[in-house]
Chain A
């Protein structure tokens, strides 16, 4: 267990070293927040609400997107693909360390830094923009939101690992990973609330783990989900997490078995 903590701490050090990359990442995210908010603002126009979201709720949703994106949508999928194709993964396989544990530790370091930055940005934005944002009064809501957010980041991490494990069999797994990430962002509600979509599609998506990543946590925060229902959603998400972890580790094992350890 100690090895993962050490990995976490040196990954943290390294992320803080690469300050310019960090800055670029955050600026990029910021641009997205501004565009989305502006679009929704223009959409609302003079109307008091749109699809059940008031102006401040809409703004809060957009800010939540920024926060949630910052630590749910990081992952080690691309690194895994790179390490498999370059053969670097061999050095992990001969050492007494779990690749998933190690990757997760590194990912946590990324998430920590990005989450802190996102909170600061959001605080700044909330202070600057008139109309205020929506803050839940019930501490239970905050707790439920936090739990949902944590579960979401873990689900995303293992889903990425699952898709990236394809790299064991084909040298062309970048494509599927790219598709997956893109599709995921839409389906998770990371660009717009899923309420915009037709009923049928919404129902279809609820059967997948995707809306749980951004849409449901955001709705929980906005107090649009009664607490018992929120607990039910968390339970379902937990079940998804178990399933995804199981699949990811299983596929990984298969992959390592068939791994040709190229490069030599």
Chain B
């Protein structure tokens, strides 16, 4: 049914799709253009930088595709839809976060995956453990993003105000487009321990390139585990304190 609704959007859907593809291509063209003038940036070559950028996109887009529901979280609560979610026999968290999946967005993921493949092809042969690490850390990244979304959803339920928080996350995520090494040390620390964008997007690529130590890898998984637990707890707590907003 969601697909049907999407088809009736016609021009609109293609427009947004096109926009996202444009953004992807332009940034890629930008990276290529930059590297036509220099050979490395912060010690990374074109292929490596492309890998960072594409990994960011894989994680970010996957999250966007599945967790879009949070962007309308405040409205869901203030308009009373959330009350329905609580009463119906389906996880309200799932409904809140995952219910506005845009299937056409999956189409935007395809070119990204193709480009990732192309980048893999240009890397020197690597052991399968590296690729496994890449895959695992990417999934880890998506899980971490998920916990951020859960946090925001919980805030929306709790205070019925802070939907803006998710937009900050979007803007800060912008910083993940580049490998974290480009940032000055304090910023890098903030992005690794504060808002862990680095863990989400840079770590998988670093693991693939073999520059991520086991300690950091362990940190990544541990962080996600803790984040999921905390955000889950926060969600349950917020739902318990929930006061319905319908007049």
Interface residues of A (CB under 8 A from B): 20-21, 24, 27-29, 31-32, 34-35, 38-39, 41-43, 45, 50-51, 170-179, 181-183, 186, 191-192, 196-198
Contact = CB atoms under 8 A, between A and B. Distances in A.
A28 B30 contact: no
Contacts of A51: 37
Nearest to A192: B30
B165 to A, nearest CB: 8
Q: By DSSP majority rule, is chain A's interface helix, strand, loop, or mixed? A: helix
Contact of B177 (A21, A35, A182, A186): A35
B167 A28 contact: yes
A38 B183 contact: yes
B23 interface: yes
Contact of B174 (A21, A35, A170, A196): A35
A182 B12 CA distance: 15
Contact of B19 (A43, A170, A182): A182
Q: By DSSP majority rule, is chain B's interface helix, strand, loop, or mixed? A: helix
A192 B30 CA distance: 8
Interface residues of B, number: 40
Interface in B56-78: none
B16 A175 contact: yes
A172 B33 contact: no
- What are the nearest 3 A-B pairs in CB distance? A175-B15, A172-B12, A28-B171
A51 B16 CA distance: 34
Contact of A38 (B34, B36, B164, B182): B182
A175 B19 CA distance: 7
Contact of A175 (B13, B23, B42, B182): B13
A136 B177 CA distance: 32
B10 interface: yes
Interface string B11-43: 111111111001100100110011011100110
